[in-house]
Copies of this chain bind each other. A is one copy, B any other.
């Protein structure tokens, strides 16, 4: 009734997630003075006079974003919150409220949702945020979680993706690649379990990387640390889709290029050993793995002394002119163009 079968059909997967959003929203215009930053950053920024309001939203779908065969519901609730807060922190803002909406099929008993909400509550306590609204409804299949996070920030403190300038330092927090390798281990254990349900897995060698996958943390501490250190990044983004994808986002929005040094990428020893075990290149994982929820930022050269002794920060490269492009400088000192191969929700199905 609503679809003309002779119409041109463009597959969603042809556009990818970002292309689709860009495409669908390209005709939207800003009509309110309160809208400072709309679609195109980690979060929207709204100016309600005294403070800017930061709003970010995410949708998590069973079978697409999570697999309940190894993801406990409590962890899922926790992670769903953290993933959203990460976007607020990436604006250099303080997260203060969330709304949580869920759609569930009849397959889930109340106790399952209690577990889910226990995780949400735990995250809310740890990150000091209030759950201020939501919606609960049935779904025809599986579980779906939609969370909107709201934060606030002094106008002059907000950090966008578009402020990076040539010669700025490219800095990443923590270490990366662990969440993806944790997922590989869990997927392998699931296969083993399917073959032999009595097999007891020994996961001691993978505790860090599995925790990074099942119970990631958002870098709230970095926002206050930057304040204490009196460093305001020129640009910032959270690493949800993999380092290469986020570096390209940051360069595109800032209209700059960059050199990223392979030997500077911070990797946990468990990532290195697990990559060896799986016979995967650890740089590939760091660049394309995703779900790290670390922050990628650019800072002015003169701010380097303030961060250099701090183990939370690693300088991984430099911002260049746009015309020079974005490159990985390998250990062998060859220059390879950076390509985004991060996780893509629409292609993965």
Contact = CB atoms under 8 A, between A and B. Distances in A.
Interface in A122-145: 124, 128-142, 144
A150 B37 CA distance: 14
Given A63-B140, A101-B146, A146-B146, A7 B109 contact: yes
Interface in A285-303: none
B137 A1 contact: no
Given A38-B133, A39-B134, A346-B136, A49 B46 contact: no
Contacts of A135: 57-59, 146
Given A28-B131, A49-B49, A129-B32, A9 B111 contact: yes
Given A28-B124, A124-B28, A131-B38, A345 B138 contact: yes
A131 B39 contact: yes
Interface string A49-81: 111010111110111110011111100000000
A191 interface: no
Contact of A64 (B38, B50, B61, B137): B137
Contact of A346 (B114, B128, B138): B138
A288 B11 CA distance: 41
Given A1-B69, A101-B58, A141-B141, A44 B117 contact: no
A251 B151 CA distance: 33
A31 interface: yes
Contacts of A69: 1
A138 B39 CA distance: 19
Interface in A1-34: 1-3, 7-15, 17, 20-21, 23-25, 27-28, 30-32, 34
Contact of A24 (B7, B31, B117): B117
A330 interface: no
B136 A97 contact: no
Interface in A92-138: 96-97, 99, 101-104, 106, 108-115, 117, 121, 124, 128-138
Given A17-B137, A103-B144, A97 B44 contact: yes
A349 interface: yes
Contacts of A140: 61-64, 141-142, 349
A132 B38 contact: yes
A56 B57 CA distance: 13
Contacts of A35: 96-97, 130, 132
B44 A133 contact: yes
Given A39-B134, A136-B346, A12 B101 contact: no
20 contacts: A2-B68, A9-B109, A11-B109, A13-B106, A20-B113, A21-B134, A21-B136, A23-B110, A28-B124, A28-B130, A32-B129, A35-B132, A38-B130, A46-B97, A57-B101, A63-B140, A64-B103, A64-B137, A99-B148, A141-B141
Closest 6 CB pairs of A and B: A49-B50, A44-B132, A146-B146, A10-B110, A9-B109, A138-B349
Interface of A: 1-3, 7-15, 17, 20-21, 23-25, 27-28, 30-32, 34-35, 37-39, 43-44, 46, 48-51, 53, 55-59, 61-65, 68-73, 96-97, 99, 101-104, 106, 108-115, 117, 121, 124, 128-142, 144, 146, 148, 150, 152, 193, 345-346, 348-349
